[in-house]
Each structure stands twice: as C-alpha cells, then as structure tokens.
Amino acid sequence: MRLKTQFAILTAAVTLLPVLFGILFFGFQRAPRDPRVPSREFMDALSERWRSGDILTVETIRADAEKAGMPLREVALFQPDGRVILSTFSHIIAGSQVKLTDLASQPRNGTIAPLPPEAQAQRVGASRPEFKLMPIDSSRADSPLILFDIQPFWTKQDLRNRNILFIGGFALILFIVSGVISLGILRSISRAIKTLEKDTAIVATGNLDHEVAGSGNHEILLLAKSINLMRLNLKDMLQRRSKMLMGVSHDLKTPIALIQGYADALADNVASDKETQDKYLQIIQDKAKQLEDLTGEVIDFLKIGGEENISVQEADPGEMLRVLGQRFASDARLLQRELTWGFGEEAAAEPAFAIPVVVMNRLLVERALENLVTNAFKYSRSEGKIVFRLLRHEGRLAFSMVDDGAGIAEEDAPYVFDAFYRGSHSRSDGGHGFGLTIVKAAADLHGWTVSIGKRRDGKQGTEALLIMS
C-alpha cells in the first residue's frame, strides 16, 4: 500500500471519527423532555379520575405519574379547607389540618419549599427537588389540591457531566485509533527499510547477482526496483569493461608476440639474406602500426566516453556535406568504390529543404562520419556503390550513409555498437571493433540518435543514420 494512501486513511480517520462519534453519542441519547408536558398529562389524568368519581390513592396517583413519564417522588392530597386526604411526606400527616398559605410560602425559582429544616437535611447531597401545589380541576372550587415533589429531568450538573464524558470519550477513541494506525504505518515502513538495508548491504559487498526484493509500501517497492535497475546496469557495465580489457589484451598480445618473434629472429641471424631481413622488418613495422592504430582508437574511445561537457559551436550541415562528400568520393576512387553524395533521398546537388545551423562539436561529428564511411568502404564489394546524403528523417535533420554490401546479420545487430565486437562478416579484417562504438559515443554526447541496419529502400546493404536533434 502506498504511503500516501496510508496517511490518507489516518487523516480520514482523525477527521471523520469526531463526526461518527457525535452521531452515535447524540443519536442514541434521548433528548430531555420539557417537564411541563408530563406534568400537564399527569394533571389531566388525575382530573379525569376525580370527575369520574374514582377514589384517588397514592397507588393510582403514582400510576398516572409513571404513565405520563414524570418522575414522581412525594405526593400529598388536600381538601380546599386544608385537611390532608393522603400524604407520603413524612412531615405532613394524613387527616391533619394544614394552612395552604404555609405550603405556598417561600417561593424559590418558581417552586415552593414545604420541607422543614430536618427534612431538608435528609436531602443533602440529593438533587434539588421541585415542588408543585395546584388544584386537580381548576374549573371547580371544590376541587382538591395536590402537592407533589418531582426529580428534575436534566440538571446543569448532568449536562456538564455529559459534555465532559463526550469530550473525554472522543479524545480517548481518537488517541487510540490514530495511535494504532500510526503504529501500523511506522512498523510497515521500518520493516520495509530493514529489508531494503539488508539487501543493499549484500549488493554493496560486490554480489551484483543478489536481487533487492523490497517489501511493504509501494514507494519502497519502486525504490527497490530502481536499485535493481542500477545493479543490473552496473553489472552490465562491469561485464563490458571486462570484455573490453580482454579484447585490448588479446589485440595487443598478438602483434607484440609477432614483433618479439621476428625481432628475436633478426637478432639470432635467422634471416641470413637481405630479402628475408627486409620482409621481417616490414612485418615488424606493420604490427607496430597496428599497435599504434589500436592505441589511438582506445585513447579516442576513452576520451569521448569520459567527456561530460564538450565544446560546441554553430555549424552548417550542408557545408559539411559538401566538404566531406568531395573527400569521401576521392577516397572511394582509390579503394575502387563509387561514392555519390547530395541532398535529400535523391542525393540532389542542391537541397530542396531549409537547412538550419546546428550546434555541435564539428571535429567529433566529422570523426563519426569518417568511421561510418570507413565501414561502408570495408563491407561493400569492389566497385560497390555508396551514397552519402543529408536529408530529413521523420522531421529531423540526419546524415545517411548507404552501402550495397552483405548487410548486418540478425545475430550481430544488437551488438554493433559494443566495443571490440566484430560481426560475422568482419572477423577476417584488421579492424578492432571501435569504429561504431566511437560513433555511438559521439551521438550520445550531442544528445542525438544513431541507428544502423537494413536499407530503408529494401535493397541489399546497410544504412546508417546519424539523426540530429
């Protein structure tokens, strides 16, 4: 799972949890009823009983109060003259006579307080009572009066306790949920980093065959994938370097051995006549020239491959085509080849399209083109035809070099730009496999593209394209 997704879940939980908690807390909680509603229902039920002639008792009064949903605690019933009909109050005795004016004295916040001091002392610590004294039927003068004591539905302390409970419960649940999610995220990241650290430590010891597995978060897996790609590229680079060193060693060893052998032969007077001595000396010179050429190509390759910034300036590709085309045509005649050059697919004498100036390192590009035409000379047959053009390819300016040789074998195509690689058609020549490697390096330094393969017109031979950006 992505880290972004995990933190989104954490944010959603922290954000939505208060809403969900509030809905559950208040949704399943009954709202406090207005005390006046059950009191009115209670008095209506008592009035109905009294008008129908039923005898009012403590039990029937409590039953009507419970039915109305009113928490009745104490009750007393009086005649209009003050005689007590029934009472559950400890200080009001049934059958006694009381002054109703005494019961209605000392109003307090809309209620009355008929309790004596000793009875009020017994209520210390209990919720403050509410007393009501009213006639059962206010429309009749002979209606008895009822005095009752009810427990308040909601007190300020109740509301305060409920709010404290809500805030405390919400904070606790929020802390637990966010803590659990955060712990899960941290454990996942820690586990993935430990696995990554273990695998990269193995790779760091030089074991490039060990795959960095990665685990857990999507981002860690992407990082492991990038490390594996870097590991494979490094492994491939080391293999190429080893192959190049082996190639250099092999190409140096053979001519050196021959030079040593013919030099020993001359020193031991094995070549007694002058003709043989001249022959041996010519062989030594040829092999020394071969070593010089190989050393120069290696130095050129290393110089190009080691450059990060090259000096560039504006150059006219059209003018380069004219200068190089004339030189290459002269070289082709010496090698019994025919080279034509020109602009566009038809190799016209003048361009039919605009040729902008291109920023390049001209010497490096000319060296790359020289290597391409050298390859064309080498792999084309005697009297073969070679075409050197400047054209537009897929909307971009490009140099094209076409020959009518045997072409590149399919098994050789992926490796033509590798150092010291010589294809199946070139193993008998005196090359070292550096020509196309230098062309590729020059193109990469300019940010250009180079390709070599079958001719685009379908004919036999090879076509190389140096495509400028």
The domain locations on the chain are: 3-30+158-198, 36-153, 218-306, 313-467
Residue 199 buriedness (CB in 10 A; 0-12 / 13-18 / 19+): buried
pTM of the model: 0.46
Q: What b-and-e string marks burial along 342-376, b requiring 16 or more CB atoms within 10 Å of the CB?
A: bbeeebeeebeeeeeebebbbebbbbbbbbbbbbb
Please give the Cα distance from 253 to 256 (Å, whole number).
5
Class in CATH terms, 36-153: alpha beta
Please give the Cα distance from 47 to 121 (Å, whole number).
34
Please give the Cα distance from 310 to 365 (Å, whole number).
12
One pLDDT digit (tens) per residue for the chain, 469 residues: 565 666 667 677 666 766 676 666 656 555 555 656 778 888 899 999 989 988 889 999 989 988 887 777 889 999 988 899 999 988 889 989 988 777 765 444 434 444 455 444 444 444 455 678 889 988 888 899 999 876 655 555 566 667 777 777 777 777 787 777 777 777 777 788 888 888 888 888 888 888 888 776 677 788 888 888 888 888 877 776 676 666 666 567 767 877 888 888 888 887 778 888 888 888 888 878 877 877 776 676 666 655 555 688 999 999 999 999 999 999 899 889 999 999 999 999 999 999 999 999 898 899 889 889 988 998 888 889 999 999 999 999 999 999 998 888 778 777 787 765 665 554 445 455 667 888 888 888 888 999 999 999 989 899 999 999 7
Task: Write down the architecture of domain 218-306 according to CATH.
Answer: Orthogonal Bundle (1.10)
Class in CATH terms, 313-467: alpha beta
Nearest of 212, 291, 299, 214 to residue 255 by alpha carbon: 291
Which stretch of DSSP H or E encloses residue 466? strand 462-467
